[in-house]
Amino acid sequence: MTRGRRDEMLGGMLGGVRDRLVPAAQRRTLEELTEDLDLRVGDRSSRYSAFWTMLVLSAVIAAAGVIADSTATVIGAMIIAPLSTPIMGVALGLVKRTKTGAAWFVLGGVCAVVAVGLVASLVMPSSYELLANSQISGRTSPGLADLVAAMATGLAGAVALARRDVAAVLPGVAIAISLVPPLVVVGVCLGDGAPLLALGALVLFLSNMLSLVLAGTFVFAALGYVAPPAAASRKRAALALGGLGVVVAAVLILSTAANYLSSEWESQVRRIASEWLAGVPDAAVTGVQMHSTTFHIAVRTPADLPPVSDLLTRLHGVVPDGFPVVVQSVQGRLIAAGRVGS
């Protein structure tokens, strides 16, 4: 097959994808898309003011929601967060092969949101257990599923941006879900002296951001917003972006594998702890969680526990040696039982 024939086939495939994603009647022009995504177009001072004001306010709301472990509050921060605009501007700039300055807005926005998280951590007591907060624990162990979700979100956002018949607010709402809360968690964890947890949240943000950029680049290229062949510097930038994406994907794959492994260890520890309590009437294991390298075992018992040394002996060879084990006991006794209405 000749090169010309291959190019013709590729062009036909891209045309088919383009027509299915965004019909020609609903497709926005490159100028319209640039006006939305390039903050330097139009009244710069007003657009800059709106971006930074809404970003800081969304970070404050997200920090309050994270510390209070309030999902509703965090969702409120997601709705008004404007960080998706420059991120999708990066994707458009890669396709157009022009400098939009969007990367600087992304970098500045990241620093601003992390700083808000750091300040918010000052109100937390020193004994605060970060991983007991679902808003934090859910964003410090990213997995491959997070990457898939971010890629799908990026595709949806880019398509919505390119269509005239979709409300302009929808892309920002959809994309912002993956951005500001992880950055706030980075700041909170750094302020609380937990750099490993902060790194996990940062990897989640980076993977989401790169997924959005790559998905947006694909959609914008398929819709025909492609500029003439790029210079060598642009090619190097694209290669660097792709390389970083591979690194983040590899980290997420390793994180996913680690999550599965820790889940398997928790299951084994729960089984062995139940066997350890078998001789105590009415005793039960109510939960097992692995925080970092420490296993926390919650048990309920009406009597004294067996020697913990026996439990440690049973766990030898099941989980790695040297991992701490903490047993938290709640003693209770059945007072009465019956049926309602009897």
- pLDDT tens column, 35-93: 888 888 888 899 999 999 999 999 999 999 999 989 889 888 888 888 888 988 888 88
Most confident among 30-34, 51-55, 331-335 (mean pLDDT): 51-55
Q: Give the chain's radius of gyration (CA, Å).
A: 25
* Percent residues over pLDDT 90 in the chain: 15
Which pLDDT does position 283 carry in this prediction?
Answer: 83
Q: Are 147 and 90 in contact (CB under 8 A)?
A: no
DSSP characters over 150-193:
HHHHHHHHHHHHHBTTS-THHHHHHHHTTTHHHHHHHHHHHHTT
Q: What architecture is domain 262-331?
A: 2-Layer Sandwich (3.30)
Q: How far is CA 278 from CA 264, 273, 281, 321, in A?
A: 21, 9, 7, 24
Q: Which of 76-80, 100-104, 173-177, 210-214 is predicted least confidently?
A: 173-177
Q: pLDDT-based confidence at 334, cuts 50/70/90?
A: very low
Which pLDDT does position 60 carry in this prediction?
Answer: 95
pTM, entire model? 0.72
Which pLDDT does position 24 carry in this prediction?
Answer: 76
Q: Which of 162-166, 167-171, 285-289 is predicted least confidently?
A: 167-171
Which pLDDT does position 81 carry in this prediction?
Answer: 84
Q: Which two tokens mark 330?
A: 């709640």
Question: Chain-wide mean pLDDT for the chain?
Answer: 79
Which pLDDT does position 342 carry in this prediction?
Answer: 37
Average pLDDT of span 96-117: 88
Q: Which of 33-47, 133-147, 257-271 is predicted least confidently?
A: 133-147
Residue extents of the structural domains in the chain: 3-228, 262-331
Average pLDDT of span 298-312: 84
Q: pLDDT-based confidence at 339, cuts 50/70/90?
A: very low
User: What is the C-alpha to C-alpha distance for residues 75 and 204, in angstroms, rounded to an integer?
Assistant: 17
Q: Are 45 and 63 in contact (CB under 8 A)?
A: no
